[in-house]
Each structure stands twice: as C-alpha cells, then as structure tokens.
Amino acid sequence: MFIKQIYTNCLAHAAYYIESGNEAAVIDPLRDPAPYIQLAEERGAKIKYVCETHFHADFVSGHIDLANKTGASIVFGPNATPAYKAYIAEDRERLQLGDAEIQVVHTPGHTIESTCYLLYGENKKMVAIFTGDTLFAGDVGRPDLLSGNLAKEELAAMLFDSLHNKIKTLPDYVIVYPGHGAGSACGKNIGPQNFSTIGEQKATNYALLTNNKEAFIQLVTNDLPAIPGYFFKDAVINKTGYASFDEVLKKSMNPLSVDEFLILKHKNSVILDTRDPVSFSAGFISGALNLGLNGDFAVWAGTLIDADMPVLLVTEPGKEKEAIERLARIGYDHVLGYMQGSMSEWIIDKYPFETIMTFDSKECALLLEQEEYNLLDVRNRLEVAKHRMAGSIHIPLNELKGRMSTLNKNKKWLIYCAGGYRSMIAASLLRANGFKEVASVEGGINEVAKTAPELLEMDLE
C-alpha cells in the first residue's frame, strides 16, 4: 500500500493519493488534475475513486475534471446533494481499493455532509483516517461555513457527537491525515503539523479534551475569524460544477501588448500585480493591487477581489501561468490576460508609474520621533496580542477594505505586518483608494524586534 500527501502551501491544503494493488483513490484534489494523473501513470495504477470529504469553501476541487479524465467515480458521504453524477455512499460503507478498503465515516459538524475516510490495510487493520475539515492537528473544523439554515451552535453540537462517537473511539495508533495545515481559514488556529495520530490529538487537541458538549460548543464557536468572501462562491461551485481547468487556462493565457492592456484597463477591471513587494514598490501601474506569488496569494486574492471582477495580470516574466492556475484554484476564472514583458515594457514605453516608499527599522524610529507618520498594523488579532509597535492603529488586512473609511486619507500612514508581505498589500490597497502618503516597514515587526526593540510594546494579553 502507498499513501502520499500532496500539500499546497498557498492554500494550506492537503490532498491525498492512496494506492493498493494497481488501484488508486484521490481524496480532496485541487482543481488541476494533472499531478494526480501523472502520479498514477508513473506508478502504473488506475484512479478508481475521487473521494470528497465535503463541499469545500476555500478552494475549487478537481473532482469533476479528474473523474472526467480518468473514469473514476466521485464519492461523497451521506447528505451530499451534488448537481452532477456522483456516488453517495452510506455511513460505514466500505469501498474496495485493491487489497485495501476505505470505510466511509459520516461526521457532520463542519458541514452537514462532512465525511472522513478510514483506511484499512491489506491485513484488514486500521491504518489512517483522512479527516478533511472535521479534525486538524490541534484544531477542529469551524462550524459556521455554509450549511443551509443551521446555526453554528447546531453544527457544533453535531461536530461534538461526530468527534466523540466516531473519531475518539478509534485506536490511538491510527494516523490522522487532515485536509488543512496551519494558516487555513477553515479552522480557528490549526497547529503546525500536517498529520498526527488519534492518540496525540486526544491528548493535546483543545477541542477533544472536554467531554462536556455545552463547553465544546462554546469553545469552537467563540472568536471565529472572519469568513473570506470567496468561500460562499466556492462552496456553490463545488456543489453545482464548473468549467474545466483546461478551458480556463486556455482562455486566460492571453498575452497583451501595452496598448491592449491600456484599453482593457479602463473597462472596470482589477490590475493584479503578482511581483514581490520590493519589485512592486519600485514601480507599478496606478491602481494596481500587489499580491505577491511568494505568499498566501490565492487567499488574499479571494479576500480582497470580488469573485466576478475581470482581472489584468502583471507578473514576472514566465510566472503568468502560475498566477492564472492559482486564481483558478479558488474559482477566479475571469483573467482577461497578462502584460507581455511585465512592468519593463510599461516603463520602456514611458507610461507613468507610481512608487511606494519602504523604510527600515532605524528610519522608522526617526520618522516616528518626528511624528511624520501614523502607524497602521494589519496583522491578525493573535499576532497583535503578543506585541505591537507603540501607538499603532490595528486593522487586520482581511478587514481593511471595509474599514478604510475610518482612516484619514490626508495623513501619512506607515504600515507594518510580520514580514512585509501583507503591509505592501495594504499599502497598494490604500493607494488605489486615494491614500497618497503610504509607506511600508521593511521586514515588518520581526525586523523591528531585532534592530529597534524600543519601538515595541510587549505582552499585551
């Protein structure tokens, strides 16, 4: 038997390839089916099942394309009502995979159709459970994501029953393979491990430590982070179907001259600049939003850009396909094209461009001493609780778009995050919305803590 976790950092997402004999199953694939097909071909196996743990909200699954290309059956657990052909398995039903078996374990709570897949090896002994968004390393799935008219408290009650009656009863040695790792918005505070064991989670996971249902409900429903806007669209897409990945890629890989780019620029589109923050700050097109491919690109695109808004791309040469693919993973299929030659062509043709100043920690100290800038912290609340720059205003980046009106456009804003990625996103967003004097802290608060700790307030909890 062979198990491979296929992890995608940008979405903190784990898909799984399981093989026994010459038959394979794929659990929760991303939209591009090629990696899974290639792996099966390399190993001389045929993909028999594409198993979905639930209707995902944080990405567009590749289950439909993968099934169409391989002839595999799409499998959901009870309560799933997809608008396309799929096999709806019964709770505790077993699927034969070579000499192994996969048992369907219905675990409602994260969503009503949430299902785990329990793997039995060739010796009929339990090996691992693929938990989707039901159980993570150090956390459980949040119960407030798109399950009809059910309140989060009702779903949390279901989740308690699922975890205590079907997950905690498994042997301690069973490996837990979750659907996400740290950074995913599908949990409150997922731990750094990408896999675990039942025994380890029973001993350390806060949500499994209490046997009191009411206490559990309160634990998992309190302090839930904001839901990224694109989650609602993606859950519907995964339930109703979507255009093939190949079609989206073919349509979007559209090279544009500077003149063609200019024409489309004026047609209610978003200019998305995917270069790193340093390159972006040195010269960018007016109104462009900077979301670097070197960070949580897809998540921030889904948070800050309307799902149906046409997108024009500015990328480093050769990075166009990657940007389009990563947007397609979250259902952003409206890329009009990309600028040939990136910003160099724009500058060579002598079109106007803007810059954003960046300052290191020593320069920040001088600027703040002279009271030239106001500080804006765009990190999340857990980060801010540990330390912050003294005198800063806090607005998490995922809330900034809706709270810009609370900031004075006529003031100078010095923006920081942990390392500089999110602060440049925030600076570009504010600049595009009429804030003229914005700047970013190089290296973020992490660098400030090393070289100018006197600027910090510590231990705020």
Domain with 386 in it: 357-458
**Do 174 and 288 reside in the same domain of the chain?**
no
Q: What is this structure's pTM?
A: 0.93
Assign 437 to helix, strand or coil.
Answer: coil
**Would residue 249 count as lying in a domain?**
yes
| Res 169: pLDDT | 97
- CATH code, domain with 298: 3.40.250.10
Q: Are 387 and 379 in contact (CB under 8 A)?
A: no
**Do 401 and 295 reside in the same domain of the chain?**
no
| Phi, psi (deg, nearest 5) at residue 337 | 155, -175
**Do 434 and 310 reside in the same domain of the chain?**
no
Q: Are 283 and 350 in contact (CB under 8 A)?
A: no
**Do 48 and 10 reside in the same domain of the chain?**
yes
Write the CA distances from 82 to 77, 240, 302, 454, integer angstroms.
11, 6, 23, 56
Domain boundary among the residues 348, 370, 395 is at 348
Q: Give every CB contact of residue 169 below 8 A, 6+ residues apart in sequence.
A: none
**Would residue 239 count as lying in a domain?**
no
Parallel/antiparallel/unpaired status of strands 374-377 and 289-290: unpaired
**Would residue 197 count as lying in a domain?**
yes
Please list the pLDDT of the chain residue by residue as tens digits (461 residues): 999 999 999 899 999 999 999 999 999 999 999 999 999 999 999 999 999 999 999 999 999 999 999 999 999 999 999 999 999 999 999 999 999 999 999 999 999 999 999 999 989 999 999 999 999 999 999 999 866 679 999 999 999 999 999 999 999 999 999 999 998 999 988 999 999 999 999 999 999 999 999 999 999 999 888 888 899 899 999 999 999 999 999 999 999 999 999 999 888 899 999 999 999 999 999 999 999 999 999 999 999 999 889 999 999 999 999 999 999 999 999 999 999 988 988 888 888 999 999 999 999 999 998 888 999 999 998 899 889 999 999 999 999 999 999 999 999 999 999 999 999 999 999 999 999 999 999 999 999 999 999 999 976 55
| Phi, psi (deg, nearest 5) at residue 259 | -65, -45
- CATH code, domain with 224: 3.60.15.10
**Would residue 392 count as lying in a domain?**
yes
**Do 342 and 400 reside in the same domain of the chain?**
no
**Do 115 and 220 reside in the same domain of the chain?**
yes
Q: Give every CB contact of residue 123 below 8 A, 6+ residues apart in sequence.
A: none
Q: Are 319 and 339 in contact (CB under 8 A)?
A: no
**Do 312 and 371 reside in the same domain of the chain?**
no
**Would residue 236 count as lying in a domain?**
no
| Res 46: pLDDT | 98
Domain boundary among the residues 203, 231, 259 is at 231
**Do 19 and 139 reside in the same domain of the chain?**
yes
| Res 382: pLDDT | 84
**Do 342 and 361 reside in the same domain of the chain?**
no
Taking Cα atoms as reference points, which of 130, 131, 155, 129 lies closest to residue 142?
155
Lay out the sheet containing 13-20: strands in order across. 2-8, 13-20, 23-27, 46-51, 73-76, 87-88
Q: CA 337 to CA 261: how far, in whole Å? A: 8
If one counts the domains in the chain, the total is: 3
Write the CA distances from 236 to 83, 207, 319, integer angstroms.
10, 28, 29
**Do 226 and 252 reside in the same domain of the chain?**
no
For 74-90, give the DSSP string: EEE-TT---SS--EEPP
Domain boundary among the residues 231, 263, 280 is at 231
**Do 329 and 368 reside in the same domain of the chain?**
no
Q: Are 16 and 6 in contact (CB under 8 A)?
A: yes
**Would residue 300 count as lying in a domain?**
yes
**Would residue 237 count as lying in a domain?**
no
Query: What is the sign, positive or negative, of the torsion defined by CA atoms of 396, 402, 404, 405?
Result: negative
Lay out the sheet containing 270-273: strands in order across. 255-256, 335-339, 311-314, 270-273, 289-290
Q: Which two tokens stand for residue 226?
A: 């904001």
**Would residue 238 count as lying in a domain?**
no
**Do 69 and 138 reside in the same domain of the chain?**
yes
